[in-house]
């Protein structure tokens, strides 16, 4: 059996996704989470997991160094890569929203948006006919309105707790997010039977 | 300032001798096979008018390299070969020779939008068969493409075949309005099964239509297609009949195990009007090439004829081709001033016998040992001993 390389996001999504695979009856080694390894083999299934930053999963899959992968819809929307989106795993549910300090308006001349998702943010505001300036940040986006870098942020909201703790309120919900099973277009065709079978088992 | 001279524009690559060697072998094999099939090689200019080729080619506007000529006209570096060849074929000269078979091995240019990892200039090898609307022309180009792959020893290739017109007819058969059908098609182009299924779920009312529409993105065999074909619809029936005949021809040529028939496989390029296909091979994470019937493009040049063809990406073929083992013999003759004339004579003798010979004036080489180690045989004519 050919080895199937699966790109997995490190961190919170990993645990949920791993559990999902185990539940679907895949014979995987236990205790991967505390390992610092970047490549983990699951010899009984012929799987090789590569553990990467969530943002990088679609990169590995698009270039074909991973056959399939598990990626958040937020990352897929932001990057628009050429991959097959095969299944909604319905894990890591959250949504992308705009937020800011309560009762504030956007600057009329130069409305500024801080975000990890420049493409999603700019598309959203453009669809409302607003042209905004995007400031790309890599984390702790909530800081931006608090210290006057931007009037609004565009970010992931799961419980809303982080926003509340920092005195921010949500303004518009943009899109719902869950994790998806994705596949490289070449791998999908060359190993279609095997990949389709994984999809079917995960669907149940 | 000096640093910049060594940098290349985004996506531009240098080809080192080993790559150049493999490319030239690839083109030799490919061109020979195309010529054996009766195709004549064509070259078109690197620069074309934006108004014609730039707009007609299916490549997104922001991927075009644009420049101005001295008259202020906008030009593009050709982003593909299909539209320039269609332009040539539409000229009077070739119109009278239809069907015309043309092949090419050319570089094309597509600007990079994001990170690197992709070339902005790359070669394509392919053919266009213009002036034949029959399914036999479609079969011919697919067989030719696979023959080239075989000639290049690309193993484990796979072809996925769809049919854009039949797909549209099938969607229309469900009574979907044009806008919804186009939305569903767009998700198929995006290869987004999740969004496609959600859209069918929320926008299609009829329960039976819902469940059968959902399955379209799961087809792999031509027999699967039958459940969507309305046999009472003459257009659908005849298109399906065509692709069935096409399969018979491909099967007869030993391709039965290498072809996937996916009704939902389609292209973002709207000029494709019939059979479309894509080719994959192990070793490259990206498709090796694609093709199909593009009668719609010919229409834009005012020509109402059928056209079909394919193009293969040379850079990806190189990834999928087996690594070269053979290392041709390369002889080095090191000479000094005294033996210069004899060295030339010796070299000429060896070259006539078919040996590759590098002539090198010995005192000009600083690291003689390292330099000599690059050759399979060294002949010293510089007064030193061999070995």
Residues B109 and B170 placed together within one structural domain of the fold: yes
Residue-averaged pLDDT of chain A: 92
User: Which pLDDT tens digit goes with each residue over B19-53?
Assistant: 999 999 999 999 999 999 999 999 999 999 999 88
Concatenated DSSP letters of B330-385: EEEEEE-STTHHHHHHHHHHHHHTT-EEEEEEGGG-SSHHHHHTTSSEEEEESSSP
**A196 to B218: CB separation less than 8 angstroms, yes or no:** yes
Chain A environment of B158 (Cβ under 8 Å): 189-190
Q: Please check whether residue A186 touches B, CB under 8 A.
A: yes
Residue A30 confidence (pLDDT) = 77
How many structural domains does chain B have?
2
Nearest in space to A197 (alpha carbons), one of A91, A82, A73, A86: A86
Q: Please check whether residue B63 touches A, CB under 8 A.
A: no
Which of B194, B198, B260 is closest, CB to CB, to A189?
B260
Confidence check: pLDDT of B64 > 80: yes
Instruction: Kindly state the average pLDDT of the residues A107-130.
Output: 93
Interface test with chain A among B118, B149, B194, B200, by most A beta carbons within 10 Å? B194
d(CA B10, CA B116): 7
Residue B374: give the domain boundaries: 330-381
- Of the listed ranges A22-36, A113-127, B153-167, B189-203, the one predicted with least confidence: A22-36
- CATH code, domain with B310: 3.30.930.10
Residue B332 confidence (pLDDT) = 94
- Of the listed ranges A159-163, B117-121, B273-277, the one predicted with least confidence: B117-121
Question: Which of B320, B342, B365 finishes a domain?
Answer: B320
Q: Give chain A's length.
A: 204
Residue B3 lies inside a defined structural domain of this protein: no
User: Which pLDDT tens digit goes with each residue over A126-144?
Assistant: 999 988 999 999 989 999 9
d(CA B308, CA B100): 11
d(CA B292, CA B163): 9
Q: Please check whether residue B280 touches A, CB under 8 A.
A: yes
Residue B214 lies inside a defined structural domain of this protein: yes
**Structure tokens that stand for B71 in this block:** 């008259």
d(CA B288, CA B40): 22
Chain A environment of B280 (Cβ under 8 Å): 185-186, 189-190
Interface test with chain B among A186, A187, A199, A200, by most B beta carbons within 10 Å? A186
Asked if the domains A4-92+178-203 and A94-176 are classified in one and the same CATH topology, the answer is yes
Confidence check: pLDDT of A33 > 60: no
What does CATH list as the number for A94-176?
Answer: 3.40.190.10
Q: Nearest CA of chain B to the CA of A62: how many Å?
A: 7
Chain B environment of A65 (Cβ under 8 Å): 285
Residues B18 and B126 placed together within one structural domain of the fold: yes
- Of the listed ranges A33-42, A108-117, B273-282, the one predicted with least confidence: A33-42
Q: How many CB pairs under 8 A join A and B?
A: 49
Residues B291 and B346 placed together within one structural domain of the fold: no
Confidence check: pLDDT of A78 > 80: yes
Q: Please check whether residue B195 touches A, CB under 8 A.
A: yes
At the fourth CATH level, the homologous superfamily of domain A4-92+178-203 is Periplasmic binding protein-like II (3.40.190.10)
Which of A88, A184, A189 is closest, CB to CB, to B194?
A88
Confidence check: pLDDT of B386 > 60: no
Residue of B nearest to A80 (CA): B190
d(CA B206, CA A194): 32
Residue B387 confidence (pLDDT) = 45
Confidence of residue B113 (pLDDT cuts 50, 70, 90): confident
B128 is in an annotated binding site: yes
Residue B5 confidence (pLDDT) = 67
Residue B325 lies inside a defined structural domain of this protein: no
> For chain A, what percent of residues have pLDDT higher than 90?
77
Residue B4 confidence (pLDDT) = 61
Residues B312 and B335 placed together within one structural domain of the fold: no
Instruction: Kindly state the average pLDDT of the residues B99-105.
Output: 95
Q: Nearest CA of chain A to the CA of B279: how many Å?
A: 9
Residues B255 and B160 placed together within one structural domain of the fold: yes
Which of A65, A185, A187 is closest, CB to CB, to B191?
A185
Residues B308 and B336 placed together within one structural domain of the fold: no
Q: Nearest CA of chain A to the CA of B185: how many Å?
A: 14
Chain B environment of A84 (Cβ under 8 Å): 191-193
> For chain B, what percent of residues have pLDDT higher than 70?
96
**Structure tokens that stand for B274 in this block:** 């019939």
Q: Is B314 helix (H, G, I), strand (E, B) or coil?
A: helix
Q: Please check whether residue A194 touches B, CB under 8 A.
A: no
User: Could you check whether the bond before residue A196 is cis, i.e. omega within 30 degrees of 0?
Assistant: no
Residue B335 lies inside a defined structural domain of this protein: yes
Confidence check: pLDDT of B269 > 50: yes
Confidence check: pLDDT of B250 > 80: yes
Residue B267 confidence (pLDDT) = 86
Residue B183 lies inside a defined structural domain of this protein: yes
ipTM of the complex: 0.88
What residue spans define the domains of chain A? 4-92+178-203, 94-176
Q: Nearest CA of chain A to the CA of B286: how many Å?
A: 6
Residue B177 lies inside a defined structural domain of this protein: yes
Confidence check: pLDDT of B1 > 80: no
Under 8 Å between Cβ of B79 and B55: no
Q: B323: which DSSP letter?
A: P
Residue of A nearest to B194 (CA): A87
**Structure tokens that stand for A199 in this block:** 């999809």
**A83 to B287: CB separation less than 8 angstroms, yes or no:** no
Residue B134 lies inside a defined structural domain of this protein: yes
Q: Give chain B's length.
A: 387
- CATH code, domain with B370: 3.40.50.12590
**B284 to A184: CB separation less than 8 angstroms, yes or no:** no
Confidence of residue B271 (pLDDT cuts 50, 70, 90): confident
Using the CB atoms, write b or e for A15-27: b if 16+ within 10 Å. Answer: ebbbebbeeeebe
- Per DSSP, helices labelled H in chain B are 17-36, 55-56, 82-90, 92-95, 135-151, 164-173, 178-189, 193-203, 207-215, 222-225, 234-252, 295-300, 314-320, 340-352, 368-372
- Of the listed ranges A44-58, A68-82, B316-330, the one predicted with least confidence: B316-330
Concatenated DSSP letters of B48-65: EEIIIIIHHSSS-GGGS-
Confidence check: pLDDT of A35 > 70: no
Chain A environment of B198 (Cβ under 8 Å): 88
Confidence check: pLDDT of A32 > 70: no
Q: Please check whether residue B28 touches A, CB under 8 A.
A: no
Which of B156, B218, B287 is closest, CB to CB, to A185?
B287
Residue B350 confidence (pLDDT) = 92
Q: Please check whether residue A65 touches B, CB under 8 A.
A: yes
CA atoms within a 13 Å half-sphere pointing along the CA-CB vector of B364 = 8
Residues B171 and B248 placed together within one structural domain of the fold: yes
**B194 to A87: CB separation less than 8 angstroms, yes or no:** yes
């Amino acid at each position: 059996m050919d080895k199937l390389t699966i790109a997995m996001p490190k961190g919170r999504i990993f645990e949920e996704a791993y559990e999902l695979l185990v539940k679907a009856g895949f014979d995987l080694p236990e205790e991967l989470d505390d390992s610092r390894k970047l490549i983990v083999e699951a010899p009984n299934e012929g799987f090789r997991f590569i553990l990467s930053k969530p943002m990088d999963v679609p990169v590995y899959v698009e270039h074909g160094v991973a056959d399939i992968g598990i990626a958040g819809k937020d990352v897929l929307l932001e990057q628009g890569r050429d991959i097959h989106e095969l299944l909604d795993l319905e894990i890591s549910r959250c949504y992308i929203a705009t937020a800011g300090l309560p009762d504030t308006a956007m600057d009329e001349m130069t409305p500024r948006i801080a975000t990890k998702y420049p493409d999603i943010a700019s598309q959203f505001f453009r669809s409302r006919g607003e042209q905004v300036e995007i400031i790309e940040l890599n984390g702790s986006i909530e800081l931006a309105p608090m210290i006057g870098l931007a009037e609004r942020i565009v970010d992931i909201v799961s419980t809303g707790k982080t926003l509340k703790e920092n005195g921010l309120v949500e303004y518009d919900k943009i899109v719902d997010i869950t994790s998806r099973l994705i596949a490289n277009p070449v791998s999908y065709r060359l190993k279609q039977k095997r990949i389709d079978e994984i999809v079917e088992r995960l669907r149940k | 300032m000096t640093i910049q001279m060594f940098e290349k524009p985004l996506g531009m690559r240098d080809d080192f001798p080993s790559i150049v060697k493999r490319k030239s072998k690839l083109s030799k094999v490919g061109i020979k096979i195309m010529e054996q099939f009766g195709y004549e090689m064509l070259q078109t200019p690197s620069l074309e008018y934006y108004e014609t080729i730039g707009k007609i080619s299916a490549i997104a506007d922001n991927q075009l390299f644009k420049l101005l000529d001295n008259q202020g006209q906008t030009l593009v570096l050709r982003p593909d070969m299909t539209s320039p060849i269609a332009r040539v074929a539409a000229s009077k000269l070739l119109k009278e020779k239809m069907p015309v078979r043309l092949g090419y091995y050319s570089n094309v240019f597509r600007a990079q939008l994001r990170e690197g990892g992709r070339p902005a200039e790359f070669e394509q090898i392919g053919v266009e068969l213009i002036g034949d609307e029959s399914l036999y022309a479609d079969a011919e180009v697919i067989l030719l493409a696979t023959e080239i792959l075989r000639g290049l020893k690309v193993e484990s290739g796979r072809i996925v075949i769809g049919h854009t017109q039949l797909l549209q007819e099938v969607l229309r058969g469900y009574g979907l309005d044009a806008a919804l059908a186009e939305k569903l098609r767009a998700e198929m182009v995006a290869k987004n099964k999740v969004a496609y299924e959600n859209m069918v779920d929320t926008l299609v009312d009829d329960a039976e239509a819902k469940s059968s529409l959902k399955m379209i993105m799961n087809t792999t065999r031509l027999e699967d297609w039958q459940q969507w074909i309305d046999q009472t619809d003459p257009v659908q029936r005849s298109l399906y009949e065509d692709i069935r005949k096409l399969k018979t021809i491909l099967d007869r040529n030993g391709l039965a195990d290498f072809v996937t028939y996916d009704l939902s496989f389609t292209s973002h390029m709207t000029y494709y009007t019939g059979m479309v296909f894509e080719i994959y091979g192990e070793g490259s994470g990206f498709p090796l090439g694609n093709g199909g019937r593009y009668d719609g493009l010919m229409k834009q040049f005012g020509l109402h004829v059928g056209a079909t063809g394919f193009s293969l990406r040379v850079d990806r073929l190189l990834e999928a081709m087996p690594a070269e083992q053979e290392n041709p013999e390369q002889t080095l003759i090191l000479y000094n001033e005294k033996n210069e004339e004899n060295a030339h004579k010796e070299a000429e003798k060896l070259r006539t016998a078919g040996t590759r010979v590098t002539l090198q004036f010995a005192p000009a080489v600083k690291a003689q040992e390292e330099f000599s180690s690059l050759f399979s045989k060294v002949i010293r004519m510089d007064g030193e001993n061999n070995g």
